[in-house]
Amino acid sequence: MDNSTILVIDVGNTNSECGIFQGNKLIDSWRFVTKTPRTSDEYAVVFRGFLKDAKLKPKNISDVIISSVVPNIMHSLVNAVKKLFRIKPIIVAPGIKTGLDIKLADPSEVGSDRIIDAVAALEKADGNIIVCDFGTATTFDYIDDKGAMAAKVTCPGMQISADALFSNAAQLPNVEIVELDSIIAKDTVSSIQAGVFYGYLGLTEQIIKQLKKEVGNNKTKVIATGGYGRMISRASDLIDEYDPMLSLNGLKLIYDKNKDLKKKNRPDL
C-alpha cells in the first residue's frame, strides 16, 4: 500500500487551494489568496505554516503536483517548492497523462482547472456528467457517455457579476453575496442580494437544462464545486452533488497517473 505524502496545489484566479494526501486519503486542506504578489520565500513561509498545522515537516512531503491558471505566479511558486521540499513538481500542462479524452476544437485551450475537475468527476460516474465550477468564472463542462469532454460553457462568476454592478452604478452599495430564502426584497441591499443570487440560480439552472436537452440525456449527473457552488447547490434541485474537494482529488488522480513517469524522466533535485 502506498502511504506517500503528496502535496497538491490548485492555483485559481482569485484563490488557491492546497491539500495533503497520505496514500489516497486527503488529511488536510487550506486556501490562500492568489492575487497577492509573493516571492518564492514568501510562498515557502505560507507552506511551512500549513505543514505546521498538519504536524508535518517539509521532509515529510514525498512529491508535489500543481495545476495553475495564473502563469505569472508560477516562477515564484515552483521555486518555493524546489527550495522548501527539494522536489521538482509535476505541472498539469499539455502532454501530461490525465486519462481524459477532450473532444473540443482545440484541446490545448482547456484550462487545467477544468481538466482536474473532469478527471475527479469521472471517478464518481462513468460518463454523462455536467461539472459546474463556481469560481472566478463559472464553468459548465459536459462529459459524454464515453468519458470524453464534449462541450464547455463559460460565464462570469457571481462575484465578477456583482462587482460589475457596483462599479458601474454609482449609487449602489457593494454588498455581500448571500443565500436567500425569498426574492421579496424591500431595501436596496436585499434587492441587490436577491438579484445576484436568484439571477445566478436562474442562469445555472437554464444552462443545465439546455445542456441536458441538447445532449439528449435528461439523466445526466450534475456535480458542482467551487466557492459559491455550495449555496447554489442547496437552492437547486438540478444539482445532484456538491464536492468542494473535487479539484484536489483530481490532482491526486492525475499525480497517480504520472508518478512513475516522473521517477523515470524527471528526477527530483
Report CA torsion sign: 86, 69, 209, 127. Answer: negative
DSSP 171: T
Q: At what angle do helices 74-85 and 40-53 cross, to 10 degrees?
A: 60
> Is 141 assigned a catalytic role?
no
Rounded to 5°, the CA angle 144-136-79 comes to: 95
Judging by DSSP bridges, how do beta strands 5-11 and 63-68 pair with one another?
Answer: parallel
d(CA 233, CA 216): 23
From the list 91, 86, 75, the residue with the least C-alpha distance to 9 is 91
Residue 80: name the closest of 71, 88, 92 by CA: 88
Which one is catalytic: 10, 63, 113, 117? 113
Of residues 30, 28, 118, 32, the one with CA closest to residue 70: 32
Give the CA distances from residue 234 to residues 162, 239, 245, in Å, rounded to whole numbers and listed in that order: 20, 8, 17
**Known catalytic residues?**
113
